[in-house]
A = this chain, B = another copy of it.
Amino acid sequence: MIFDFIDGGAEDEVTLRANADAFRRLALRPRRLVDVSRTHQATTILGAPVSTPVLLSPTGLARLTARGGEVAVARAAGRKGTLFTLSTMASSTIEDVRAATDGPLWFQLYMWRDQELVDRLVDRVQTAGYDGLMVAVDVPVVGKRERDLRSGFTLPPRLRARTALDLLRHPRWMREVLAGRPVTFENIADAAPGQVVAVAQYVNQELSNPGATWEDLGRVRSRWSGPLVLKGVMTAEDTERAIDAGMQGIVVSNHGGRQLDGELGALEALPEVLEAARGRVEVYLEGGVRRGSDVVKALALGARACFVGRPYLYGLANGGSAGVEAVIATLMDEIDSTLALVGRPSIDGLDRSVLCPAHPPLLA
């Protein structure tokens, strides 16, 4: 059930697959005999230095995956020198997560119906000293995630243990989830469900604001003094509006294929957004990144960095904070190796000359 909650996408999961498959449509053009004895993947995100262009996406309810949850993830991100983004739907508090790392930290905000709740979140984030605010605008309503419908995923998670033995057979972390502090939306406690509910239904009924508009974004822009990034942009038109609205960054994302099945793979929307942005804001890619070479491809197209979600959650499930570090380290190694093998020692040297379509015509 938890696996399906993390792994699944909306409806037929066409977009979920498109996210990863899109990278296969690009091939890498390697240059040889370039000095790649030192590769360089450190960069800055809106001015803040990070050791790698692999950034960590906001994901909900990480404590379902492993004890520690978002705190463990933030600690791993800090140790590896990269950015973590705490979700509005997190199961750890804004303050606990900030305490877990000195590294760059963003908060992902939903513009809920309850504007006071939103204002309070912004203020807490500001007070806690987060480095940036990412406003996600791709959930006016929650997408139809049929795996959750089938598994009966609820909050708090309801185990179907019919006997004590059954319970013992559940994995340790699951027993901890049950035994310990309940997994809830820690930062929207006022709004958190008092009883067992289906998550999508709860969010749609109690939280979502399908009426949110660019004007509402203006309110956030006024209240928040730091860097502001818009997540979920997939078109040139919205890129233009985001820039007009004073955003410093844009995350090209279809919410990991979890919202509207039938959207392009995120990488497929990246060229359109980049062309519209004309370098005026930083553009990040989220969706389908599974290899260091995927990151290199996105950067070569023009992305500033890539966000990953499921990969670090699997690391978290497997090894807690150390597991997250291992996932980041693997991606960093693969980026180094790819940079060496394409003959571009630094990510600064990546441009479209390193790319070509995966199946060019053989006969001109």
* Interface residue stretch chosen among A61-69, A97-105, A221-229, A338-346: A338-346
- Cβ of A262 and Cβ of B28 under 8 Å apart? yes
Q: For the complex, what is the distance from the CA of A30 to the CA of B254, rounded to whole Å?
A: 9
Contact partner of A213 among B33, B338, B355, CB < 8 A? Answer: B33
Number of chain copies forming the complex: 4
Contact B210 A340, beta carbon cutoff 8 Å: yes
Q: Give the interface size class of chain A.
A: 35 or more
B31 touches A260 (CB 8 A): no
Most buried by B among A267, A337, A357: A337
In the complex, whether A32 has a CB less than 8 A from a CB of chain B is yes
What CA separation (Å) do A29 and B352 show in the bound complex? 25
User: Chain B nearest CB: distance from A71 CB in Å?
Assistant: 31
A232 at the interface (CB under 8 A from B): yes
Residue on B nearest A236 in the bound complex, by CB: B29
- Cβ B36 vs Cβ A140 within 8 A: yes
- Inside 8 A of A233's CB, which chain B residues have their CB? 32
What separation, in Å, do the CA atoms of A358 and B29 have in the docked complex? Answer: 24
Contact B362 A267 (CB under 8 A): yes
Interface pair B26/A268, CB less than 8 Å apart: no
Tell me the smallest distance from the CB of A251 to a CB of chain B, in Å: 12
Instruction: Give residues in A with beta carbon < 8 Å to B.
Output: 11-12, 14, 18, 22, 24-37, 137-138, 140-141, 143-144, 209-214, 216-217, 230, 232-235, 237-238, 241, 254, 259-264, 267-268, 271-272, 291, 293, 297, 301, 334, 337-338, 340-343, 352, 355-364
